[in-house]
Amino acid sequence: MTPLDHAYAQMAADDADDAARLTYYERLAESELVCLTDGEAREGAVTPKLFPLEDGPYVLAFDSDEKLSAFTGITNTYAALPGRVIARQLAGQGVGLAVNLGADSAMLLPPEAVDWLAGTLDHAPEQAEAVPTAFLPPQVPQRLLDALGQKLAHAGGLASHALLAGVSYSDGRHGHLLAFIGAREEAEEALARSAAEALTFSGIDAGEMDVVCLPDGPAARRMAEIGMRLDMPAPQAPERPANRAPGTDPERPPRLR
C-alpha cells in the first residue's frame, strides 16, 4: 500500500468526508507518478500518451512501476514526474488524468479536477506586514499538524526547523504563526508555499496561519518557549541506478508536450 493507496481508501470509505478528499489530492500532488508516453524523451520534452475515454482524452499515470506493468502487461516508455508537475502541465488542455487504473485505488480525474488541482497548487500566499505582541500555545486541529508534517518531510534541509505558535498582533488580530528558523534565503518562497498548501489541504475552511522566516534569535527563542517545534531532518541523497528511465532524474525533469 502506497501513501496514495491509503489516501484513496480513506476517501472511498466516506464520500462525505471532504478532508479525506483533500488529503487524496495532496498525496497525488506529492507522489512521483510514472506517466505513459509516446516514445522516448526528445530535447528535454516528452509527449504523454493520450487514451480516448467517453468524456474525452486521458493521460495514464501510476504511483509505482508495478501498477503500470500490471495494467499494461507489456514494456512501455514512460516518464517519472511528481503529480503536481503533471497537473500543472495538463491544466487548461481539456485532458483528464487516469490514476492507477486496474488497481484498487483507480481514479479518474476529469479535466476540471486537473485544472482545480493545478490552480490550488499555484495559489501564492499573500504578503503582509504585522507586529506580533504576544505568542500563545498553538491550538490547531490534528489534521493541520499532519499536513504540516507531510510538507516538512519534503522540505528537510531548507531550514533548521520550524516553530508553530498562536500569535496576537498590534492591530488586534489573532491567529497562528509558523516560523522557519535558519531558512536558506532562496528557499523562503518555497517554504511559504508549502505551508499554504498544508493549510489548504487540511480542509480548514476559515483557517489563518502566517508564515515567517526567522534567525535563531530572541523572537525564535520566545516562540520555542511557548510554541511547538517541528523538526525538518535533512534528507539523505538516494543512490542513483546507472540506467534510468526517461524523466526519472529529479535534476532534469522532462516537459510534457
- Residue 233 within any structural domain of the chain: no
Total domains, the chain: 2
Does the predicted TM-score (pTM) go above 0.95?
A: no
- Residue 174 within any structural domain of the chain: yes
pLDDT for the residue 206: 47
- Residue 231 within any structural domain of the chain: no
Q: What's the CA gap between 118 and 97, in Å, rounded?
A: 12
State the number of CA atoms in the 13 A half-sphere of 1 facing the CB.
8
Same domain, 74 and 23: yes
C-beta separation of 81 from 254 below 8 A: yes
Burial class from Cβ neighbours inside 10 Å (0-12, 13-18, 19+) for residue 22 reads buried
Per-residue confidence in pLDDT tens, the chain, 257 aa = 999 999 999 999 998 888 889 999 999 999 999 998 887 666 667 788 899 988 899 999 999 989 998 998 876 788 899 999 999 999 999 999 999 999 999 999 999 999 999 998 887 777 888 899 999 999 988 888 988 988 888 888 899 999 999 999 999 989 899 999 999 988 998 899 889 888 888 866 545 789 999 999 999 999 999 999 999 987 665 555 455 555 555 555 555 55
User: To 10 degrees, the CA torsion angle through 87, 88, 92, 95?
Assistant: -30
Task: Sort strands 209-214 and 132-136 into parallel, antiparallel or unpaired.
Answer: unpaired
Q: Which of 190, 195, 130, 140 is nearest to 162 (CA)?
A: 195
Task: Sort strands 96-99 and 50-53 into parallel, antiparallel or unpaired.
Answer: unpaired
- Residue 204 within any structural domain of the chain: yes
C-beta separation of 57 from 51 below 8 A: yes
- Facing residues of 45 across strands? 42, 255
Same domain, 66 and 116: yes
Same domain, 10 and 117: yes
Give the residue ranges of DSSP H helices in the chain.
Answer: 3-13, 18-30, 65-72, 83-90, 111-121, 142-153, 188-201, 218-226
Same domain, 114 and 24: yes
Query: pLDDT tens across 119-152, in order?
Result: 988 877 778 888 999 999 999 888 889 889 888 8
Q: Which of 136, 122, 156 is nearest to 231 (CA)?
A: 156
Same domain, 42 and 110: yes
Q: What is the DSSP letter of 37?
A: B
Same domain, 212 and 144: yes
Same domain, 103 and 164: no
**CA gyration radius, the chain:** 20
Domain residue limits at 14: 3-122+240-256
- Residue 60 within any structural domain of the chain: yes
Same domain, 210 and 249: no
Same domain, 116 and 25: yes
pLDDT for the residue 254: 53
Same domain, 20 and 147: no
Residue 136: what residue type? Answer: L
Q: What's the CA gap between 227 and 31, in Å, rounded?
A: 30
Q: CATH no. for residue 188?
A: 3.30.300
Length of the chain: 257
Residue 54: other Cβ atoms inside 10 A: 4
SS3 90: helix
- Residue 209 within any structural domain of the chain: yes
Same domain, 54 and 140: no
What contacts 217, CB < 8 A, 6 or more positions away? none
Q: Which of 134, 121, 136, 113 is nearest to 82 (CA)?
A: 121
Same domain, 48 and 144: no
